[in-house]
Structure 1
Amino acid sequence: MARKAQELSALVVGRLKEPGMHAVGGVSGLYLQVLDSGARTWVLRASIAGRRRDMGLGGFPDVTLALARDKARQARALIDQGVDPIEARREQRSALKASTAAARSFKECATAYIEAKAPEWRNPKHEQQWTNTLEQYAYPVVGDMLVRDVELAQIMRVLEPIWRKKTETAKRLRGRLEAVLDWAAVRGYRSRENPARWRGHLDKLLPAPNKVANREHHEAMPIDDAAAFMVELRAKPGLGARALELAILTAARSGEVRGARWPEFDLQAASWTVPKERMKAAKEHRVPLSPAAVKLLRALPRVDGADLLFPSRKNTMLSDMTLTKVMRDMDLEAVPHGFRSTFRDWASERTNYAREVAEMALAHTIGDKVEAAYRRGELFDKRRQMMNDWAAFLAKPLPAGGKVVPMKAKRAT
């Protein structure tokens, strides 16, 4: 046990300026160390497990004499219990650093997850959709929370207000919340169970999406108005109008047309090969081109140094609103994607083509595994004849004075 020195007053301690170790008393082994630079710091000198150790207690005067004595007493109490206070403090600091390193907000984790996973997503639009839904619905509730503290109560606050009103959006949002929280757990930012999981958890608290969802449909144009619409569309100038015309003639999705590039087309063979990266089913799709579609393509201007058929002014893809705006400018409520339904209705109601021919023309994924296993071919020749007939239907003569009349369009999937 260190010899107990005379107990100095705070006034006397404050006057200690000579370099060296000055015992201040009150607690055995407590010293004020004065450095050559003039700086002063508290040191507790003690024997720990038979070894003399010097333990720093902070600088003077930030740590007062009274506080230094309290710290020294606490350290000696730990030594008496068989605990090394120096190692204990080191472990506490290490734990604090680890805790601080793991302190990430939900928004920080979501941003990092999106950045990590975005290269996997086929459509660049998915990244923006992830960001938009989280910013609109999740961040106001959990964005600034530490991700380790996000629990069921917060998840319910995010989902409940929109679960019945915007079911499809809420369903996707739940999956995104679950993915971000799983990512955070793997990275060591949280250790609790995932409160956004569905099976055996949220499915006990929220109704099944397919029981409450009002399925959203695309506005489609009635079959008998399509030819009149094409007349007015072909009279409109601009690449947006031409892109919409090609989409209608090929029954393709907007993104497939807006991203179309000249090397994908063989005008001599009248075919268009859409790479799997732009297809919803992630599978290459060959499209037979009708004479009307080939004529449209041959008339398109070619932009030097640009592969895109329909480049924007910045030589990038047209936005997904470009084709919609063409129809809005024509005072129509139908949307471009709805023409796929118009085509499907025409094929089933006005022709004798088999269902699978129309479905393959639309590049729909086959839900029936047995049917998918047996459908090996492309039915390309049959699809070519069907697309030729579709183009002929769209070009049929109009009655005198015929024109497109704005109307409430039917809803289509």
Structure 2
Amino acid sequence: MPRKLSNALTPLAVKNAKPGRHADGGGLHLLVKESGARSWVYRFMLKGKSRDIGLGAAGQGGIALADARTARDALRLKVKAGIDPLEERERKASEAVAAAHAAHIAEMTFKGVAEAFIATHEASWRNDKHRQQWRNTLANYVYPVIGELPVAEVATAHVLKILEPIWQDKPETASRIRGRIETVLDAAKARGYREGENPARWRGHIAQILPPRSRLTRGHHKAMPYDAIPAFMAQVRERQAMAALALEFVVLTATRTSEVLGATWAEVDLEKAIWTVPASRMKAGREHRIPLSPRAIEILEAVKPLGKVNLFPGDRGGKLSPMAMSMLLRRMKQGVTVHGFRSGFRDWAAECTGYAHEVCEMALAHVIGNKAEAAYRRGDLFDKRRRLMADWATFCAGAGGANVLVSSLRTAA
């Protein structure tokens, strides 16, 4: 029978041991690599299988021989009790990782996740206004309630606490806030910060608690009846101001405020009477060509001598403020929004003309909902849209004529 080793090694032997495996007895071994690196290993038998578990580095700066033997003896007792030291170590390591992750999650607030989401995605958002709306709505409505709450703890009650006070009075804002909360919570779940269903989900959840927006008085983008637009346009033309010219141009082109105020002369071909808005400035993310009526051209020729980059400059340089046209409407005691004139145009086109549906929709730069139709119709129906916009300009001039020359300009109405 082979002689059992017991304390076969000495500190000097540990220091001078050559590459290989050196037994000390009781399952303790010194491993020496060709590089000279030394480590302690305990070999044990459990359930008929031999296994090794590392104890740490040996030699100078590592575990001393006496300490290695003490560690071996402690492990031998566990093995005798049927405990696998390797499995125990792995379990404790897993528990430590889980505890660290739980601590990290506990520190991860809703605001922290939201700010990280915005920072990651804002470069893909089309305009500064959208970025600012994300930050403003969260800061004003959401953060005061759940900003510092661990994102894992956000529940339906928190979401309702945010939405219920504004759901009736500010339905558009409330709806967007709900969607943004849902998006942030989805991002948190994807990163492992929370589990379970999203408490801000609309379908099958919030929809069962709050009434749908279609049943609310929305008051968003209030529109002027199209038959009142000609008289209104006559009043606008009486105001020799930059805001008035910009507003008239918005109505004549059936475009959005941001598209007009951000327009530059590089986008306009006066000779061909075409204004081309690049994809980067369009809501649908696609280039949009707009035919310009004679009155629209007249407005542009009136402001071109100002020599500015933007079609409608502000009094301090740059582009005209988005509030300029809104304030003009307020001073004229009109309870409508600038954007609402697009609805007026669409109603007029549907009720007073014979133009096809797709021509009217493309005039508004709307995305075609029918994928099959969109696939087969590649053009932009420009010639038909030119006739449509000319007819619209004629209609708008019906209560006062469009041949009013601009004699002087002010940036305020």
- In the other structure, the counterpart of 2:330 is 328
- In the other structure, the counterpart of 1:356 is 358
Q: How much has 1:261 moved relative to structure 2?
A: 1.4
CA distance in 1, matches of 2:395, 2:93: 81
- In the other structure, the counterpart of 1:312 is 314
- In the other structure, the counterpart of 2:71 is 48
- For the 8 Å contact 2:170–2:218, the answer to whether it is kept is no
- For the 8 Å contact 2:234–2:399, the answer to whether it is kept is no
**Residues 358 and 145 of structure 1, relative CA distance in 2, 3 Å threshold:** same
Which moves more between the two structures, 194-203 or 242-251? 194-203
Q: How much has 1:145 moved relative to structure 2?
A: 0.6
- The equivalences for 1:93-108 within 5 A come to 98-102=101-105, 103-108=107-112
**Residues 193 and 221 of structure 1, relative CA distance in 2, 3 Å threshold:** closer
Q: How much has 1:115 moved relative to structure 2?
A: 1.8
- In the other structure, the counterpart of 2:223 is 220
- In the other structure, the counterpart of 2:59 is none
Q: Tell me, yes or no, if structure 1 residue 279 matches structure 2 residue 285.
A: no
Match for 1:284: what amino acid?
E
**Residues 98 and 316 of structure 1, relative CA distance in 2, 3 Å threshold:** farther
Uncovered stretches (5+) of structure 1, i.e. residues with no partner: 1-43, 53-79, 400-413
Which moves more between the two structures, 290-299 or 379-388? 379-388
Q: Residue 343 of structure 1: SS of its match in structure 2?
A: helix
Q: Residue 50 of structure 1: SS of its match in structure 2?
A: helix
Q: How much has 1:241 moved relative to structure 2?
A: 2.0
1:339 pairs with one of 334, 338, 341:
341
- In the other structure, the counterpart of 2:19 is none
Q: Residue 309 of structure 1: SS of its match in structure 2?
A: coil
Q: How much has 1:298 moved relative to structure 2?
A: 1.6
- For the 8 Å contact 2:268–2:275, the answer to whether it is kept is yes
Match for 2:73: what amino acid?
G
Q: How much has 1:373 moved relative to structure 2?
A: 4.3
- For the 8 Å contact 2:172–2:220, the answer to whether it is kept is no
1:118 pairs with one of 116, 122, 127:
122
- For the 8 Å contact 1:271–1:286, the answer to whether it is kept is yes
Match for 2:191: what amino acid?
R
- In the other structure, the counterpart of 1:37 is none
- For the 8 Å contact 1:250–1:387, the answer to whether it is kept is yes
- In the other structure, the counterpart of 2:261 is 258
Which moves more between the two structures, 309-318 or 121-130? 309-318
1:178 pairs with one of 152, 177, 182:
182
**Residues 202 and 388 of structure 1, relative CA distance in 2, 3 Å threshold:** closer
Q: CA RMSD in A?
A: 3.7
Which moves more between the two structures, 356-365 or 312-321? 312-321
Q: Residue 136 of structure 1: SS of its match in structure 2?
A: helix
Q: How much has 1:265 moved relative to structure 2?
A: 0.9
Q: How much has 1:211 moved relative to structure 2?
A: 5.8
State the TM-score, normalizing by the size of structure 2: 0.67
CA distance in 1, matches of 2:144, 2:108: 16
Query: Per-residue CA shift, 1:109-137, capped at 9, x if unaligned?
Result: 11121121111211321222222322333
Q: Residue 111 of structure 2: SS of its match in structure 1?
A: helix
**Residues 315 and 49 of structure 1, relative CA distance in 2, 3 Å threshold:** farther
**Residues 364 and 198 of structure 1, relative CA distance in 2, 3 Å threshold:** same
Uncovered stretches (5+) of structure 2, i.e. residues with no partner: 1-66, 76-80, 402-413
CA distance in 1, matches of 2:231, 2:377: 36
- The equivalences for 1:284-303 within 5 A come to 284-301=287-304
CA distance in 1, matches of 2:383, 2:130: 34
Query: Per-residue CA shift, 1:63-106, capped at 9, x if unaligned?
Result: xxxxxxxxxxxxxxxxx998899999998876665444441111
- In the other structure, the counterpart of 1:159 is 163
CA distance in 2, matches of 1:95, 1:358: 58
- In the other structure, the counterpart of 1:393 is 395
Q: How much has 1:255 moved relative to structure 2?
A: 1.3
**Residues 384 and 141 of structure 1, relative CA distance in 2, 3 Å threshold:** same
2:241 pairs with one of 211, 227, 238:
238
Q: Residue 220 of structure 1: SS of its match in structure 2?
A: coil
Q: Residue 312 of structure 2: SS of its match in structure 1?
A: coil
Q: How many residues align?
A: 330
- For the 8 Å contact 1:259–1:308, the answer to whether it is kept is yes
Q: Residue 47 of structure 1: SS of its match in structure 2?
A: helix
**Residues 110 and 319 of structure 1, relative CA distance in 2, 3 Å threshold:** farther
CA distance in 1, matches of 2:115, 2:318: 25
CA distance in 2, matches of 1:227, 1:108: 51
